[in-house]
Amino acid sequence: MEELASVHITAIPGRIGQILRNDLLDRLNPFGEPKSPQYSLSVELEEAKEGLAIQIDNTITRFNLTLTANYFLTDARTGTTLIAGSLRATASYNVLQSDFANVIAERDAQQRAARNVADELKTRLAVFFGGSI
């Protein structure tokens, strides 16, 4: 779809923002950044963790990581907001006895949540532009 390929994706702060931006680039602009973009997409992220499985000694053994994305698609020439919205993705991970394993599990959950946000955002943009996915 031509409209998706003509969307410039602005920088998204933070590590998870970089992951999300790269996922969006892969989905919207697989041949690289548009030379003269017609649209600009900006995304603001919020990340939250919530303990799910809590043992008797108050030790948390499982977390839900929720990634909330507020997005704004604007006309690149006029700056007019064409569509704005919010979406959310949740990924769970287990807490283990190894600190290294916990860091890797959390990063994996962040990547899965970012991938889900990118997929949903591509779908919403495709629907907005009136095309098929």
Per DSSP, the three-state class of 129 is: helix
**40 torsion bin: left (phi>0), alpha (psi -120 to 50), beta (else):** beta
- Domain of 70, in residue numbers: 2-129
67-123 per-position pLDDT tens digit: 999 999 999 999 999 999 999 999 999 998 899 999 999 999 999 999 999 999 999
Q: How far is CA 26 from CA 10, 23, 31, in A?
A: 14, 5, 8
- Structural domains of the chain, count: 1
Cβ(89)–Cβ(121) under 8 Å? Answer: no
Q: Looking at this protein, which amino acid is placed at residue 12? A: I
pLDDT band at residue 131 using 50, 70 and 90 as cut-offs: low
* 82 Cβ contact partners less than 8 Å away, ≥ 6 residues apart: 39, 73, 74, 75, 128
Average pLDDT over all residues of the chain: 92
Place of tokens 């003509």: 6
